[in-house]
Structure 1
Amino acid sequence: MRLGTQNVRKSVLTNSLHRLSRCYISDLSNLCMVGKIGDTLEALELLDQQGVSLSRNDAYYLLQRCCRTEDLPAGRRIYRLMVRTGLASIAVLGDHLIRLFSMGGCLHEANQVFNSICEPSVYTWSAIIAAHTKLGEGARALDLYNTMQSRGVECDSYTYVAVLNACAQTTTLIQGRLIHDQIIRRGLESDPFVQSGLIDMYAKCGSIDDAIKVFENSPSSDVVVWSSMTSGYAKHGLGQKALDVFKKMKRHGVRPNHVTFVSLLEACGSIPSLAQGRQIHIQIMSYGFESNVVVGNALIDMYIKCGSLAEAHKVFNGLPNHDVVTWGTMITGYAHHGQGHEALELFDKMKQEGVHPDNVLYANILKVCGNMAALGQGRQLHAESLGRGLQSDFLIGNALVDMYSRCGSMDEAHKVFNKMPHRDIVSWGALIGGYARQSDFKMAQQCLNDMQLEGCKPDKVIFLIILAACSRKGLVDEGFQYFKSMSEEYGITPSIEHHTCLVDLLGRAGHLDDAENLLSNMPMPPNLKGWGSLLSSCKTYGDLERGRRCFDQMLRLDSRNASAYVQMSNIFADADMWADAHKVEELRKKAGAWKKPAQAWIEVDNKIHGFDVGDNSHPQSDFIYAKLKVLSRQMKEEGYVPKVELVVKPVSDEDKEDALCGHVEKLAIAYGLVSTPPGTTLRAAKSLRVCTDCHSATKIISKLEKREIFIRDAYRLHHFKDGACSCNDFF
């Protein structure tokens, strides 16, 4: 019965299509209502099967409808009908097809349509130039513009807007200025969209002064021009100037649109200024843009950059619709604020609601997996991306190499790396960084050599990775050789980060005099990280007086730096100077220098479990602490001595031992031990550096439990096996 009904409907549709084709009906709404099917693609399929020809008017209105609805499959069907009926060479139809294929990201098909047109009009040229620019082929767009000019086709304002966007994308300032001259000669400089394109082009090409000149000479009071200027300032990090333009815009009586507010929110995020961001939010509501998804995405991003994750989440929950950008912005915000667990949960919720991640979001969430040592979830995401046909995506390939290397699975990282059709400096950096984090300097060096054999020269980031690897291995001579080669062989001027790496290298190796001399004689003033690195080395080698100097320098730069107080307090504790240690603690409390509490995570059965210091909230807490109690007794039998001096509190040694048992990495490891079969490899992550007590304990645990244990902390990846660590206790 059901099949019969479908056949009747199809018969009615076919007969109606014949009548429509004979009458040359040019209204697609009538075509889609035939037989009450309302399916453009089905209607076109029947037209094709019945051999019905399209008239030029039929094709025109069909394509208009497809462009409005972004119906790519229907557009392809129409194009086949056009080719069969000889309409494919008509420019006015090709213009629509090029736009449609551009919307769908199909540049090859857009080019195919363009090449089939006998005499491309200015609109056709504008469409194909805009398509190449939109899809990231700005250089090719400029080539097309030059070809258009050589054929004597005069540009209109739409062409100039498209080609200015291409200049902005390729940051081709010289050609942008030449096009500006042509715009003036053609008398189009007063067109508000052209003015906006000029401002945007100059701003993105780094010439904010030229953008200002265009803006100030503009007679237009169009909101598009004002919005472009606010956007230009915002993108150059001149957030306050963008806000000043907005005030001037309101004085001129120009009503802002949603693009204006997006630029202003970007400006507030760049300063960052939470107070001004909140004021802009109020104005957004007064103008009725609070439900606009693009504005909502910008609001979420602004609140995240200004440090208010709660307000970002409130905006997220208040939006009537969430697109992939909305989800991605919120997920990335959680990750940026160290809440990777929440980021992964939100990512799962997004997929449950039927929103498919794009390549950018896949790359960001893979980074979260790497930071949390969530290898199982990372593998699942890898499989998902393959299932969605993204195996050759460059961004995802780099993210996968980085994720696997951060999780300590260098075999899988290398496997992905070797399959990548193209590799750039980021790909090599992810691989080299993976080996460096595991203290495998030999392989890091081999990858650096292989990279150069492929014709890829190291940049500043690669040298930072290599210098950090030298520091972790105590390779002083090699580190200085690489530092020297930066400028002498590659023409790279070492930054403060490279100098700080050398300070860390010297300090870790015990050359404290040289490290302090380097800090004092750098070509730029030393920063907190430099003094902090030397202070850490002073703790390692018990250099009290030098430690005092580093501590004073750090407080001079930032009196609320919690790490400085903790390190100095520990130095005094190591020297049994408890009164001084307690004084430093009091100074820390008075300054309000609160250290961010450590967190640790472990993945069991593809689920992340998080732990805070002294955590008792986990459902398996009783088993976790019982396991730690047993381990503590067994470890002492193996020679383990708890480093109670790390607990700077006026309590008994027994209480200090209990406090050490509550360290987050120990809780995570204990949970892994009681929740997985014997012999299973454990992978945990910690938000801060692994402490010396936990490091010593984990070495013995790996031997007692016959387990491989990976701990990824904020600085490196520790691989514990058979009572030893990959860092050789040099961390």
Structure 2
Amino acid sequence: MGANAAAFASLLRGATNLSQCRWILEQLINSRYAGDIFLGNLALQMFGKLHGIGDARALFHRMAQTGRNLFSWSIMISALCRDGHHREALGCYHAMNLEGGIEADMVILSTVIGVCSALQNLCEGRKLHDRVAGCGLESDTVVHNALVSMYVKCGCLDDARAVFDATPTREKDAVSWNVMMAAYSSRGKFQQALEIFNDCLLHSVQGPDAVSFVTAISACCGLKDVKQARALEELSCSHGFLETSVAVQNSLINLYGKCASLSEARLVFDRIASKTALSVRAAVMEVMLRREEKFCHRFVIAFMLPSILMWCLGLVF
């Protein structure tokens, strides 16, 4: 890359608004680098990031004459998805296939599978699954997660589970386990969701993350099983999330409330070092639903009163 080309690249990367990007593109078009695919792709990418989808379309069509490559199509499809133009993104993918000479990579395939998920287009989703399988990319973590999500969104839980089971455990990340858990939980299959969580604990290379625990706790809410709730609290503590994750803390308070075990909800609340408005709200709501006024007063005094006093001090000083 020449010095001037590097300068154009630096200017494009530094653009913070569409006006700047348009001005730089105008200078680029009037220079000897007008047909440079790398710089064209970079401008296309910046228009996408700045949500200038109209500018991105115009540049992409102009690049049909000056030159487009795999990255050009990938950037355009992603930009359309980012701005919610899912049908157009799918059309762009088909246009790429018709143009010939360009083979979709896993980035494009996973993006377009996400498009099918958003559109709940099962027919196109299955075609993409066949293509992925033919390319040997089915076990790729990103593609695998996109396929599972697509089948879940299209209401095909058995197909989602088949893809999940066919993927080697070493290729599954936390998202893989969480998507499958959430799919079961959202359909009232709480026990199956917890079975996936247990498999994650036993077999996952990375182990569960905070989202895994929140999802499992949510499933446990459906069962209202206080024994399971205590087990999840112990596990979240041993994994360090009870002390560090507000979402896990609030979910546990809510869970114990659903299990009508307010004394244990209070113990979780008391363990929270830095109480947030959300944790207080979770606790107070459960207490109020159970008409436990004594506990409710304690929660209010423990958090709300100090907050009000601090706010008043802020007004004074």
The TM-score, its normalising length taken from structure 2, stands at 0.68
- Residues 266 and 469 (structure 1 numbering): CA distance in 2 closer, same or farther, change over 3 Å? farther
Q: 1:364 aligns with which of 107, 111, 116?
A: 111
Determine the structure 2 residue equivalent to 1:337: 83
- Residues 450 and 476 (structure 1 numbering): CA distance in 2 closer, same or farther, change over 3 Å? closer
1:400-441 C-alpha deviation (Å, 9 max, x unpaired): 222222222121122222222443223323322322332322
- Residues 257 and 417 (structure 1 numbering): CA distance in 2 closer, same or farther, change over 3 Å? same
Matched, 1:458 2:208: yes
Q: CA deviation at 1:346?
A: 1.6
Determine the structure 2 residue equivalent to 1:374: 121
Query: Whole-Å Cα distance in 1 between the matches of residues 252 and 47 of structure 2?
Result: 37
1:613-636 C-alpha deviation (Å, 9 max, x unpaired): xxxxxxxxxxxxxxxxxxxxxxxx
Query: Whole-Å Cα distance in 2 between the matches of residues 360 and 431 of structure 1?
Result: 22
Determine the structure 2 residue equivalent to 1:617: none
Matched, 1:416 2:163: yes
1:183-231 C-alpha deviation (Å, 9 max, x unpaired): xxxxxxxxxxxxxxxxxxxxxxxxxxxxxxxxxxxxxxxx99xxxxxxx
Q: 1:433 aligns with which of 157, 161, 182?
A: 182
- Check the 8 A contact 2:194/2:220 in 1, yes or no: no
1:56-111 C-alpha deviation (Å, 9 max, x unpaired): xxxxxxxxxxxxxxxxxxxxxxxxxxxxxxxxxxxxxxxxxxxxxxxxxxxxxxxx
Q: CA deviation at 1:289?
A: 3.3
- Check the 8 A contact 1:297/1:326 in 2, yes or no: yes
Query: Whole-Å Cα distance in 2 between the matches of residues 294 and 442 of structure 1?
Result: 51
Q: 2:146 aligns with which of 390, 399, 413?
A: 399
- Check the 8 A contact 2:140/2:171 in 1, yes or no: no
1:26-79 C-alpha deviation (Å, 9 max, x unpaired): xxxxxxxxxxxxxxxxxxxxxxxxxxxxxxxxxxxxxxxxxxxxxxxxxxxxxx
Determine the structure 1 residue equivalent to 2:49: 305
Query: Any residues of structure 2 matched to 1:583-598 within 5 Å, and which?
Result: none
Q: CA deviation at 1:361?
A: 0.9
Secondary structure of 1:299's partner?
helix
- Residues 497 and 339 (structure 1 numbering): CA distance in 2 closer, same or farther, change over 3 Å? farther
Letter in 2 for 1:345: G
Q: CA deviation at 1:282?
A: 4.0
Secondary structure of 2:162's partner?
helix
- Residues 484 and 313 (structure 1 numbering): CA distance in 2 closer, same or farther, change over 3 Å? farther
Query: Whole-Å Cα distance in 1 between the matches of residues 250 and 82 of structure 2?
Result: 24
Determine the structure 1 residue equivalent to 2:67: 321
Determine the structure 2 residue equivalent to 1:284: 28
Letter in 1 for 2:190: F
- Residues 301 and 447 (structure 1 numbering): CA distance in 2 closer, same or farther, change over 3 Å? same
Determine the structure 1 residue equivalent to 2:274: 523
Query: Any residues of structure 2 matched to 1:162-561 within 5 Å, and which?
Result: 255-258=3-6, 260-262=7-9, 264-268=11-15, 273-319=17-63, 320-354=66-100, 355-421=102-168, 422-425=170-173, 426-456=175-205, 457-469=207-219, 473=222, 475=224, 482=232, 485-486=235-236, 488-492=237-241, 494-495=244-245, 497-498=247-248, 523=274
Q: CA deviation at 1:331?
A: 1.2
Letter in 2 for 1:317: H
1:102-150 C-alpha deviation (Å, 9 max, x unpaired): xxxxxxxxxxxxxxxxxxxxxxxxxxxxxxxxxxxxxxxxxxxxxxxxx
Q: CA deviation at 1:332?
A: 1.6
Query: Whole-Å Cα distance in 1 between the matches of residues 22 and 14 of structure 2?
Result: 12
More helix as a share of residues = 2
Q: CA deviation at 1:359?
A: 1.1
Query: Whole-Å Cα distance in 2 between the matches of residues 352 and 393 of structure 1?
Result: 25
Relative CO higher for 1 or 2, CA cutoff 8 Å, sep ≥ 6? 2
Gap runs ≥5 in structure 2: 290-317
Query: Whole-Å Cα distance in 2 between the matches of residues 297 and 373 of structure 1?
Result: 30
Q: CA deviation at 1:275?
A: 4.1
Query: Whole-Å Cα distance in 1 between the matches of residues 122 and 95 of structure 2?
Result: 20
1:360-415 C-alpha deviation (Å, 9 max, x unpaired): 11111112212322222111111122233434444323322222222221211222
Gap runs ≥5 in structure 1: 1-222, 225-254, 542-731
- Residues 435 and 353 (structure 1 numbering): CA distance in 2 closer, same or farther, change over 3 Å? same
Letter in 2 for 1:409: C
Query: Whole-Å Cα distance in 2 between the matches of residues 321 and 257 of structure 1?
Result: 17
Query: Whole-Å Cα distance in 1 between the matches of residues 21 and 57 of structure 2?
Result: 15
Query: Whole-Å Cα distance in 1 between the matches of residues 38 and 276 of structure 2?
Result: 42
- Residues 496 and 476 (structure 1 numbering): CA distance in 2 closer, same or farther, change over 3 Å? farther
- Check the 8 A contact 1:401/1:417 in 2, yes or no: yes
Q: CA deviation at 1:507?
A: 10
Q: Which has the larger radius of gyration?
A: 1
Query: Whole-Å Cα distance in 2 between the matches of residues 317 and 446 of structure 1?
Result: 50
- Residues 414 and 315 (structure 1 numbering): CA distance in 2 closer, same or farther, change over 3 Å? same
The TM-score, its normalising length taken from structure 1, stands at 0.32
Determine the structure 2 residue equivalent to 1:640: none
Secondary structure of 1:431's partner?
helix
Query: Whole-Å Cα distance in 1 between the matches of residues 119 and 23 of structure 2?
Result: 36
- Residues 459 and 327 (structure 1 numbering): CA distance in 2 closer, same or farther, change over 3 Å? same
| CA RMSD between the two structures | 3.8
Letter in 1 for 2:193: A
Q: CA deviation at 1:455?
A: 4.5
- Check the 8 A contact 2:141/2:172 in 1, yes or no: no
- Check the 8 A contact 1:293/1:321 in 2, yes or no: yes
Q: CA deviation at 1:334?
A: 1.8
Q: CA deviation at 1:337?
A: 1.9
Query: Any residues of structure 2 matched to 1:575-590 within 5 Å, and which?
Result: none
- Check the 8 A contact 2:148/2:164 in 1, yes or no: yes
- Residues 469 and 304 (structure 1 numbering): CA distance in 2 closer, same or farther, change over 3 Å? farther
Aligned length: 268
Q: CA deviation at 1:267?
A: 4.4
Query: Whole-Å Cα distance in 2 between the matches of residues 281 and 266 of structure 1?
Result: 12
Query: Whole-Å Cα distance in 1 between the matches of residues 254 and 34 of structure 2?
Result: 49
- Check the 8 A contact 1:408/1:438 in 2, yes or no: no
Query: Whole-Å Cα distance in 2 between the matches of residues 387 and 344 of structure 1?
Result: 20
Q: CA deviation at 1:524?
A: 7.4
Letter in 1 for 2:184: Y
- Check the 8 A contact 1:452/1:458 in 2, yes or no: yes
- Check the 8 A contact 1:408/1:434 in 2, yes or no: no
Q: CA deviation at 1:296?
A: 2.1
Query: Whole-Å Cα distance in 1 between the matches of residues 83 and 24 of structure 2?
Result: 23
- Check the 8 A contact 2:114/2:150 in 1, yes or no: yes
